[in-house]
Amino acid sequence: MNALSIRRLGHRYGLTTVLSDVSLDLKAGETLALVGPSGCGKSTLLHIVAGLLDPYEGRVRSTFGRIGCMFQQPRLMPWKNALDNIALGLKAQRVPAVARRRQALDWAARLGLSAEDGHKYPHELSGGMQSRVALGRALAVAPELLLLDEPFSALDVGLKLELYAVLREQVEQGGSAVLMITHDLMEAVRLADRIAVMGSGPGRVLHEFAVDRPRSARDEAWIHRTTAELMDVPPVRECFGLAPARPPVSPARPPALEAGA
């Protein structure tokens, strides 16, 4: 079984340590969400896993082959239309042109892009459409490992829910492992099998939580309730710079229950 192993990872920019002693594991078909405040090194960690940065210390070992990435900004090629952007990774895999186009058309349709949208260039697409194209590009390569760096943070709620559904389908039917970065705890509760909460100064893992409920059974009420419960857990409060939760105050006993009454 494919797996990702991160051991005692550390990284610096100049004299500033941004990551310290980070150890994580990810198995095939599993979604791990890294949750933390801005500046805690989440994106740096993702770039190291993607091979875009070399760590200062520690190691990353992965047996995953095909990797798909989606970032906070769509990062589309401005000289290519939507279909060609979706097919970009397929071209790198040397998939024949006819098959590339067929798969790009299929992903465009699954992501709600019309035939007309497929021929538009990035500057002609709305931000939401650009995000659809970026997700299609990441998923078209049938990734064994999908790396997501807060790609949904700037989207409206309706579009988020649409893209969440596509992502869940890829995980459940395609078997992709997902390492996702988010500062949105509710998003992590909705999508992840495990949540690693990170602190800053330097970036480190404070605690890991398992989300045992099947995704299909995570209705809105459960997601909101679970998120609220997690917000009272000390490592989560530390992660977001919140004061420790006050213990509940016991209500005064009714006079009839006082001793001797």
**What pLDDT score was predicted for residue 252?**
53
Neighbours of 50 (CB within 10 A): 16
**What pLDDT score was predicted for residue 249?**
55
pLDDT tens for 26-82 read: 999 999 999 998 889 999 999 999 999 999 999 999 999 999 999 888 999 999 999
> In CATH, what number is assigned to the domain containing residue 28?
3.40.50.300
Are residues 152 and 235 both part of a single domain?
yes
DSSP 8-state assignment for residue 119: T
Are residues 195 and 90 both part of a single domain?
no
DSSP 8-state assignment for residue 51: T
Are residues 130 and 233 both part of a single domain?
no
pLDDT tens for 120-175 read: 999 999 999 999 999 999 999 999 999 999 988 888 899 889 899 989 988 888 88
How many structural domains compose the chain? 2
Q: What phi and psi values does residue 36 have, to the nearest 5 degrees?
A: -175, 170
Question: What one-letter code names the amino acid at 146?
Answer: L
Instruction: Scan for tokens 């990441």, then name that residue.
Output: 138
Q: Is residue 255 part of a domain?
A: no
Are residues 24 and 106 both part of a single domain?
no
Tokens linked to 145: 């490992």
Mean pLDDT for all residues in the chain: 90
> In sequence order, what are the residues at sequence separation of 6 or more whose Cβ sits closer than 8 angstroms to the Cβ of residue 125?
82, 117, 133
Tokens linked to 122: 């990035």
CB of 108 closer than 8 Å to CB of 130: no
Report how far apart, in Å, the C-alpha atoms of 227 and of each of 40, 55, 108, 167 are: 21, 32, 33, 20
Pairwise CA distance, residues 101 & 112, whole Å? 17
Q: Which domain holds residue 95?
A: 78-142
**pTM, two decimal places:** 0.89
The last residue of a domain, from among 115, 142, 169? 142
